[in-house]
Structure 1
């Protein structure tokens, strides 16, 4: 694809990156076949190829409109198109750049600005999010059914083993996961403890920055990233061999710290080191001998592989393979490449499309009559649980119980 970027961006780092991405695209259209929003809406501008054209026009100097912004907002950033693309187009990075430029030129209505501001003030801050969640859980019986479905039930965390092994890894505890499902990382710590690995949380742990970054506040998101690097660095220098992340959305973002902070002289090298050390928990366990722990799995599972695990981190099939290796019975899931509709804050900002995607995903997951649904991302877990009576859990919790 030929480009002629406008003067306001062509000689900037973002402009050079966007230009390289645009030139990679051969506009073949293969991406539309696997785009969830294109499948729902049937509009070329609500598919990756159409959005690429919109972004290209903006970067070449055409004035964007609110309609331009709407089409970009409807993108889930599921990155299914990247898995399908034969040319290796880094669509998500082009979308990040395009959204930031359009937000600066178009602005947003007051209601949208307030909603995004409120989400940024609450979601990344555990000390704000968890108390509000507990209040919502206490009041849930009195809420309308539609609101009640958005409040996840309270879950208890089991014990966290003491640090007693020479091998040590760092856990990202994060922002919303400790409030919604605190047992996920505790279960991870217990499984790793059985393998002779100690899992510890940095004293200044918190949000990875993805929430702000994808809510029109990219600089704020990168500030969160810098704080995580600062918190982890003493543990890395002390010999931690990996940063273990159980929320695949966070893992996908942290693995990009090196690219996102490449132009920051104070953080570039450390960011690259952090990204290199970051592992989803399935990557850690894939290299360990689990069979000798004699797992005793019970009940059939349907596994939902989050977009951030299969398309962003390119770990499609890894969890399923590990679960089968441990003896779990997995139900088949049709169209497993499609998004469940959670997509970070998408379920809150684009509820109609999100609920359609969730209904389709739950139908596919329940078709094989599983006893429970497993996933690998806290956002997917909470979103899916709001639409089904079957228990939805992180797969590491289920493995932990099978090993107990």
Structure 2
């Protein structure tokens, strides 16, 4: 694709990166075939090809409009288009650059700004989110039905193993997960303990930075990344084998720390090292002897593959392979490449589209009449369980040798 970006923009790192990505695109349209919002809305401007064209126009000097912003806001950032693209277009990165430029040209009204600011002040901070969750549960009887459905069920975490294994890996607690699904990381610790691995939670870590970064507060998100690197670095220097990610959304972001901080003179080298050490939990288990773990004994399971796992991290089939190896019967899931509609804060910012995508996903997941639905990302798990009549868990809970009661 030919581009005519301004010289001023080309003098910036983002401008040069955007031009390189745009020139890769050949406008073939294959991406539209796997884009969830294009399939729902049928509008070229709500598909990757149309959004790329709109971003190109803005970067070439055309004034962004509220309509331009709406079409970009409707994008899930699921990266299904990147899996499909024969030219290797890095659409998600282009969208981040384009959204930031459009945000400056087309400021949102005060209500939208306040809501987005509020999300950034609550979701990335576990104590704040946990306090809000406690209030919600306290007043659950008088809340509207939809608000009650959004409250995750209480699930005990169980005991975190106090092992003395010499093999050490680190785990990111995350922001929402410790309050909404504390059993996930605890189950991961118990499973890894069975494999001779000690899982540690370094003090001082927090949100991976995704919430702020994807809401165009880029520096805020990068500062959260820097804080995590500082928390992990002493453990890395002492020989920690890996950074284990139980939430695929966090895992994708941390795997990209090296790219996001490549221009930072203080953190570039450390960020690259952190990204190189980052592994999704399924990647870790795939390299280990799993004979000590409980078997599935034919239990019927439907696995929802988060977009951040299959399209972002390109770990398609990793969890399914593990569960199949351990004896679980995996139900077929139609259109497994499509997003469930969670997509970080998307379910809060675009509720109508998000709920339609969720309904379609739950129909596909439930078609095989599974005993349980499992996923690999906290956002997907919470989003699906709000409307599911089948229990929804993180897949690692299936392998927990001593699950809490």
Q: What's the TM-score once normalised by structure 2's chain length?
A: 0.98
> Are residue 242 (structure 1) and residue 220 (structure 2) matched?
no
For 1:8 and 1:208, how far apart are their aligned partners in 2?
32
Whether the 8 Å CA contact 2:194–2:292 is kept in 1: the answer is no
Q: Residue 169 of structure 1 aligns to a residue in which SS?
A: strand
Whether the 8 Å CA contact 1:243–1:277 is kept in 2: the answer is yes
Q: Residue 340 of structure 1 aligns to a residue in which SS?
A: coil
> Are residue 214 (structure 1) and residue 214 (structure 2) matched?
yes
Alignment partner, residue 135 of structure 1 = 135
> Are residue 92 (structure 1) and residue 92 (structure 2) matched?
yes
| CA apart distance, 1:49 | 0.3
Query: Residues 246-325 of structure 1 correspond to what in structure 2 (within 5 A)?
Result: 246-297=246-297, 299-325=299-325
For 2:274 and 2:79, how far apart are their aligned partners in 1?
23
For 2:358 and 2:377, how far apart are their aligned partners in 1?
15
For 1:30 and 1:355, how far apart are their aligned partners in 2?
25
For 1:84 and 1:296, how far apart are their aligned partners in 2?
33
1:277-334 deviations in Å (ceiling 9; x for gaps): 0000000000001024352446311000000000000001110011000000111000
Alignment partner, residue 126 of structure 1 = 126
For 2:129 and 2:180, how far apart are their aligned partners in 1?
10
Q: Which runs of 5+ in 1 are unaligned?
A: none
1:115-164 deviations in Å (ceiling 9; x for gaps): 10000000001111111111112222221112112221222101101141
Q: What's the TM-score once normalised by structure 1's chain length?
A: 0.98
Alignment partner, residue 35 of structure 1 = 35
Alignment partner, residue 47 of structure 1 = 47
Alignment partner, residue 23 of structure 1 = 23
1:46-82 deviations in Å (ceiling 9; x for gaps): 0000000000001101110111100000000000000
Alignment partner, residue 114 of structure 1 = 114
> Are residue 13 (structure 1) and residue 10 (structure 2) matched?
no
Whether the 8 Å CA contact 2:293–2:399 is kept in 1: the answer is no
Alignment partner, residue 326 of structure 1 = 326
Alignment partner, residue 372 of structure 1 = 372
For 2:76 and 2:372, how far apart are their aligned partners in 1?
26
Q: Residue 87 of structure 1 aligns to a residue in which SS?
A: coil
Q: Residue 291 of structure 1 aligns to a residue in which SS?
A: coil
For 1:402 and 1:41, how far apart are their aligned partners in 2?
46
Query: Residues 337-356 of structure 1 correspond to what in structure 2 (within 5 A)?
Result: 337-356=337-356
Whether the 8 Å CA contact 1:293–1:403 is kept in 2: the answer is no
| CA apart distance, 1:92 | 0.3
For 1:382 and 1:134, how far apart are their aligned partners in 2?
16
For 1:287 and 1:80, how far apart are their aligned partners in 2?
27
Whether the 8 Å CA contact 1:296–1:403 is kept in 2: the answer is no
For 2:102 and 2:281, how far apart are their aligned partners in 1?
36
For 1:52 and 1:256, how far apart are their aligned partners in 2?
22
Aligned residue pair count = 404
1:181-213 deviations in Å (ceiling 9; x for gaps): 001000000000000000000111210100000
Q: Residue 82 of structure 2 aligns to a residue in which SS?
A: helix
Query: Residues 130-209 of structure 1 correspond to what in structure 2 (within 5 A)?
Result: 130-209=130-209
Range moving further from structure 2, 248-257 or 145-154: 145-154
For 1:147 and 1:266, how far apart are their aligned partners in 2?
44
1:339-360 deviations in Å (ceiling 9; x for gaps): 0000000000000000000000
Whether the 8 Å CA contact 1:77–1:343 is kept in 2: the answer is yes
Structure 1's 13 and 291: CA in aligned 2 closer, same or farther, altered over 3 A? Answer: same
For 2:42 and 2:212, how far apart are their aligned partners in 1?
30
Q: Residue 400 of structure 2 aligns to a residue in which SS?
A: helix
For 2:203 and 2:293, how far apart are their aligned partners in 1?
31
- Please give the root-mean-square deviation of Cα atoms over the aligned residues, in Å: 1.2
Q: Residue 284 of structure 2 aligns to a residue in which SS?
A: helix
